[in-house]
Chains A and B, each alone.
Chain A
Amino acid sequence: MKEIIYYPGCTLKNTAKNFEDSAIACSEALDFKLHELKDWYCCGTVYSLTSDDLMHHIATVRNLLRVQEEGQERFTTLCSMCYNTLKRSSKRINENENDRETLNSFMDEEENNYEGKVDIIHYLQILRDEIGFDIIKEKVKRPLKNLKLAPYYGCLLLRPNEVAIDDPDSPSILEDLITAMGAEAVYFPFKNECCGAYETVAEVDLVVERAHNIIGNAKRNGADAILVSCPLCAFNLDNRQKEVLEKYPDFEGIPVLYFTQALALALGLDPDVCRFDLNYQPVEDLVRGIEQ
């Protein structure tokens, strides 16, 4: 069985426990084991964009150092925000010796220096590049027949170019997963439009507008549900449907699932691992439809 170090991040231990539990169950069913990184830190959630702000890369580098101390040079994560922050930071620190030296001298209480060799890959890349969608297709026990899914990528898996897990303007990795699961991927031009991200804290109206546009586009193209890979996208597209309905009374809700929840169902796993109780829009009808 293949093994890889897994970095959960703060939200997968909190509002997105359904993402973590379903992903761990899927990985076991697909013969690769996720080992949770020891003593991991919050990654900081956003990549520091200013050139002189090295301080905010420390959280990232400490995580890279923990991976290095376990004798590994790569690890994986599920949350798109963690992926983007860890990937961009690791690129900057791995490729820039001066930055690395400065950060190592900041962390003088650490036993070891970070050597600049650790890389992160996203869970979806493992599914595509190391397991393969053809193998996943063979392992599907409960094909998601008659289910039309809208693949929502958001921003952070695709942009900027140097950290993209697929083509930034026309990705297909989620569509290929959906097809392997036996479902249909609907045409979805809003699949990589920003949901408003952290503006959900102080600019709820803006996020409600974004969510209304994105969900409306998925529904007009016939989607039964939206698939996501980011806990913040999930919150903005799922939980914010409450505020969308308040603003647009004729709005009809749509379930939003993590791609790992759909995969767990397709692999024939117990639906309890999906923790659907944490999804805002009810998913029961959708699950019942698959089982029949």
Chain B
Amino acid sequence: MAFELSKESVQSDFIKKIEELSGEEISACYHCGKCSAGCPSAMAMDLLPNQIIRAIQLGDIETLKTSNTPWICASCVTCYVRCPRGIDLCSIMEAVRQMTLRTNKDHIDIKKYTGELASLPPIAVVSALRKMSS
């Protein structure tokens, strides 16, 4: 079912929690699209980076929970250094990931990748687990 915008959704605690975790002001974004234009991984995302902010502004939690975008974001910080509003979108993406991880749901099952793990640099494995498991 399509998302229904309401007074309750735009005033939800979810938005406040994301603001608290990320330290950013969600309403500061005016959707110039610079983050999405410069994002090197946007081609693999189902929602563009600024669309993630839009979903948070509207309180569209379902869309956020099902999007792959926060999990594709590797915190490369290109968006943040270019944002004309100075918004640290990487921290917002982290907050969205944390909202899932803190319900004890992992995004990555490391057992699936055991074949290749030994050949990967330790920093790859540690950071993937830090970012995508609880």
What residues of chain A have their CB less than 8 Å away from a CB belonging to chain B? 9-11, 14-16, 42, 44-46, 49-53, 56, 79, 81, 155, 158-161, 168-169, 192-194, 196-203, 205-206, 209-210, 231-232, 234-235, 239
Q: How far is the CA of A198 from the CA of B124 in the complex (A)?
A: 5
* CB pair A202 B132 closer than 8 Å: yes
* CB pair B41 A51 closer than 8 Å: no
* CB pair A10 B126 closer than 8 Å: yes
SS class, residues of chain B in contact with chain A: helix
* Chain B residues positioned under 8 Å from A206 (CB to CB): 41, 44, 72
* Chain B residues positioned under 8 Å from A205 (CB to CB): 44
Q: How far is the CA of A135 from the CA of B45 in the complex (A)?
A: 47
Partner of A15, one of B75, B88, B91, B122: B122
Q: Mark B79-94, 1 if CB is under 8 A from A, else 0.
A: 0111000001011001
Partner of A194, one of B40, B81, B119, B130: B40
Known: A196-B41, A232-B124, A234-B121. 14 other contacts (CB 8 A): A15-B121, A45-B126, A45-B127, A49-B88, A79-B123, A159-B77, A159-B78, A194-B76, A197-B124, A198-B125, A199-B72, A201-B120, A205-B44, A206-B41
What residues of chain B have their CB less than 8 Å away from a CB belonging to chain A? 20-23, 40-41, 43-44, 72, 74-78, 80-82, 88, 90-91, 94-95, 98, 108, 110, 112-113, 119-128, 130-132
Q: How far is the CA of A158 from the CA of B82 in the complex (A)?
A: 13
* CB pair B123 A49 closer than 8 Å: no
The 3 A-B residue pairs whose C-beta atoms are closest, nearest first, are A194-B76, A159-B77, A49-B94
* Chain B residues positioned under 8 Å from A196 (CB to CB): 40-41, 74
* Chain B residues positioned under 8 Å from A52 (CB to CB): 20-21
Closest Cβ neighbor of B39 among chain A residues? A194
Closest Cβ neighbor of A230 among chain B residues? B123
* CB pair A198 B98 closer than 8 Å: no
Partner of A11, one of B44, B113, B119, B121: B121
* Chain B residues positioned under 8 Å from A155 (CB to CB): 76-78
* CB pair B40 A210 closer than 8 Å: yes
* CB pair A44 B130 closer than 8 Å: yes
Give min CB distance, A131 to chain B, whole Å.
27
Partner of B21, one of A50, A81, A158, A193: A50
* Chain A residues positioned under 8 Å from B125 (CB to CB): 198, 201
With A14-B122, A45-B127, A46-B127 known as contacts, the answer to whether A51 contacts B77 (CB < 8 A) is: no
Partner of B131, one of A46, A169, A210: A46
With A46-B127, A56-B130, A194-B41 known as contacts, the answer to whether A235 contacts B77 (CB < 8 A) is: no
* CB pair B108 A202 closer than 8 Å: yes
With A159-B76, A193-B40 known as contacts, the answer to whether A198 contacts B131 (CB < 8 A) is: yes
* CB pair A160 B81 closer than 8 Å: yes
Q: How far is the CA of A280 from the CA of B21 in the complex (A)?
A: 40
Q: How far is the CA of A234 from the CA of B20 in the complex (A)?
A: 36
By CB atoms of chain B within 10 A, which of A10, A56, A168, A202 has the most?
Answer: A202
* CB pair B123 A9 closer than 8 Å: yes
Q: How far is the CA of A222 from the CA of B123 in the complex (A)?
A: 31
With A159-B77, A194-B78 known as contacts, the answer to whether A51 contacts B123 (CB < 8 A) is: no
By CB atoms of chain A within 10 A, which of B44, B124, B128 has the most?
Answer: B124
By CB atoms of chain A within 10 A, which of B108, B122, B132 has the most?
Answer: B122
* CB pair B120 A51 closer than 8 Å: no
